[in-house]
Amino acid sequence: MSLERYQYLSNVWKDGIFDNKVVFCTGGAGTICSAQVRAMVHLGANACIIGRNVEKTENMAKDIATARKGSKVIGIGAVDVRKPEALAAAAEKCAQELGSIDFVIAGAAGNFLAPMDQISANAMKSVIDIDVLGSYNTVKATLPYLVESASKHKTNGKTEPPNGTGGRIIFVSATLHYSGTPMQSHVSVAKAGVDAMAMSVAIEQGPKGITSNVIAPGPIADTEGVARLSKQEGRDKSAKGIPSGRYGSVKEISDATVYLFSDTGNYVNGEVLVVDGGAWHTSGVGSRQWEYPDFLLSGDSVSGVAGGRKSKL
C-alpha cells in the first residue's frame, strides 16, 4: 500500500539527496525500520531489506519501492542475523545487484515481556544473540562496503560532499536501560550492548571515514512492538507522563535517520540520538505512578498483552 510522504518523512528534506546510494537494513520489514528505509528511498536511495520471514520481507520491499518511481528495493528473506554466513551472503547480493552499500541500519531485534525469574537462560541468550550478535554480524558483513563508500564520499565539513555522503551505520536501540524497565531485563542488557558496540565502531572505524551512531526510539505509536507489549489503556495513561504529551510517530524516527545519513550528520559520530519526546527523563516509578502488577508479585505469567511470555528456567 503506497503511503503519503507526510506519513514517513518531513517536507524539510530535499529530494534526491541520496541519489545513486544504497541502504542495507536488517529488520527491514518491521514498522520502524521499513519507515526509515522508505524515507531513504523517497530521497533517492535504492535499498536491500533483510528479514526472517520470506513473504513479509519481499512484500515489504515491493511496498517500499512505491515511495519513488524507478527505485530498486530488494527483499531478502530467510536470513537469521545470528548466522554470519547468511548476512555475508545477503550483503554480497545487495552490493552485486545494487552496486554498493553506502548506509546500514542494524534494526533486527527480539522482545517479549517477562520478569527475570520467568526468563530461561535460552530465552535470555536468544534476545542477546539477535540484538547484539546480530548487530555485530551486520557490521562484519557490511564493513568492507562501508569503508569503500566512505573513501568515495569524504567531506572536510566546510562544503557539501560532491557525491553525497556514505559509509554510515545506524544501530536501532532503545531507552529501556537508562533508568531500568520492569520485565525488560533481557532487552535492556542487549540494547546496552548495542550502544557499546556502536561507540567501538565509531572509535575504531572513524579514521576510515565511517560514522557509527545510535537512534534510540521511545514509545512510538502504531508499531508492532507497542501493540504487542502494552494495553491501549496503559498507553493512554503513560502518554500523559511524556513531556511532549504524546507517543511518537515513525516519521520522527525516519527524520532522525535522514539527519544522520545526510550532510547534516557529517560530524556526528559515536552518539546516541534519543527520539522519545523526553519520555525517559520521566520514566521513574514515581513520576508515572507505576504500580507493581499482581503477576509480577505472584509469579504468574504476564497477562493482557500479546508479547507476554513465560519460559522454563
pLDDT in tens, 246-299: 999 999 999 999 999 999 999 999 999 999 999 898 876 444 555 666 666 666
Nearest CA to 229 out of 195, 186, 172 is that of 186
pLDDT confidence of residue 295: 63
Question: Is residue 248 within 8 Å of 175, Cβ to Cβ?
Answer: no
Task: Please identify which of the residues 173, 185, 230, 262 carries the catalytic annotation.
Answer: 173
β-bridge partners, 106? 26, 171
Report the 10 Å Cβ neighbour count for 10. 13
What is the reported pTM? 0.89
Given a cut of 50, is residue 5 above it in pLDDT? yes
Question: What is the rounded average pLDDT of the residues 46-58?
Answer: 97
Question: Is residue 84 within 8 Å of 152, Cβ to Cβ?
Answer: no
> Alpha-carbon distance 2 to 261, whole Å?
24
Strand order in the sheet with 272-275: 73-76, 46-50, 22-26, 103-106, 168-172, 211-217, 272-275
Task: Please identify which of the residues 21, 191, 251, 310 carries the catalytic annotation.
Answer: 191
Please report the domains of the chain, with CATH numbers, ordered by start residue.
13-298 (3.40.50.720)
pLDDT confidence of residue 183: 85
Nearest CA to 186 out of 120, 284, 137 is that of 120
Mean pLDDT score of the chain = 89
191 a catalytic residue: yes
Nearest CA to 206 out of 152, 163, 169, 261 is that of 169
Instruction: Between 159 and 77, name the one with better pLDDT.
Output: 77
Given a cut of 50, is residue 4 above it in pLDDT? yes
Instruction: Between 106 and 308, name the one with better pLDDT.
Output: 106
Which uninterrupted H or E stretch holds 194? helix 185-205
241 pLDDT band, cuts 50/70/90, is: confident
Instruction: Between 239 and 79, name the one with better pLDDT.
Output: 79
* pLDDT over 70 percentage in the chain: 86
80 pLDDT band, cuts 50/70/90, is: very high
pLDDT confidence of residue 313: 41
pLDDT tens column, 167-211: 999 999 999 999 888 888 999 999 999 999 999 999 999 999 999
Set of cell numbers at residue 82: 545470528
> Alpha-carbon distance 221 to 246, whole Å?
9
